[in-house]
Amino acid sequence: MILAAGRGERMRPLTDHTPKPLLQVGGKALIVWHLENLAKAGFKEIVINHAHLGEQIELALGNGSQWNLKIQYSAETEALETAGGIANALPLLTEGGAESEPFLVVNGDTFTDFDFAAIKLSQNMLAHLVLIDNPPQHPQGDFAIENGLLAHKSAILNTQKVLTFSGIGVYHPSLFAGIQRGEAAKLAPLLREAINESKATAEYYQGVWHDIGTPERLHALNSQLS
């Protein structure tokens, strides 16, 4: 699943008429980089949620056949936050008897060369997150890693690093069982609960990763790729 429902307020005026995932990076739409990397990693079926100017996303990407993918869309009248958007799309993510199969989720407003084929969810786990070094715009970080498990940043020792969630994760459908379709819900409380139950793992990624959150960061990445 690619999360593409955000309004992109910090990207205005660029996002007044263009949804953030369709902004151009290195000559193609930001979301297309994800689609190409997912196809390269062997993924076949993609779900994309959208809200703000979502019809543009559907028109631009179609059914995904040009990347040898099958794309389905989960439209939201109003953005439902991360967990709410995932829960709303669960019928698409779990169709065809995949009710207990984990699925990959990536934020549509990031740019990365992460190898999506290398990520997996261990047995009996609810979530596996990819963590990165804290970028300048998020110096406080989100979580830590303790013996392969996702950990609260407040509970770590001084010898461990606080890291930032990259927006890349693999989840078991049951993580979202308590959220009603159409209900707005944040992901962080679900992850904290999974941490408390020792049901979440994590890995530390040090490769290319950019959060395209402002016009300045978009321009900087375009300059880097040109």
Domains of the chain listed by start with CATH number = 2-225 (3.90.550.10)
Q: How many CB atoms lie within 10 A of CB 157?
A: 8
> What letter does residue 187 receive in the DSSP assignment?
S
3-class SS letters over 146-184:
ECCEEEEHHHCCCCCCCEEEEEEEEECHHHHCCCCCCCC
pLDDT of residue 220: 82
What is the sign of the dihedral through the CA atoms of 50, 52, 53 and 56?
A: negative
pLDDT of residue 158: 54
What is the biggest distance separating any 2 CA atoms in the chain, rounded to whole angstroms? 49
Q: Are 43 and 116 in contact (CB under 8 A)?
A: yes
DSSP, collapsed to helix, strand or coil, labels residue 82 as helix
226 residues of the chain, pLDDT tens digit each: 999 997 767 767 766 788 889 988 888 999 999 999 999 999 999 999 998 888 999 999 999 999 999 999 999 988 899 999 999 999 999 887 667 899 999 999 899 999 999 999 999 999 999 999 999 888 889 999 999 999 998 766 555 689 999 999 999 999 999 999 889 999 999 999 999 999 999 999 999 999 887 878 878 887 887 7
**Distance between CA 50 and CA 6 in Å, rounded?**
7
Written as one letter, the residue type at 17 is H
pLDDT of residue 211: 87
DSSP bridge pairs for 104: 170
Q: Tokens 């779990």 sit at which residue?
A: 94
pLDDT of residue 19: 87
**Distance between CA 202 and CA 144 in Å, rounded?**
8
Q: Tokens 């047995």 sit at which residue?
A: 123
pLDDT of residue 195: 96
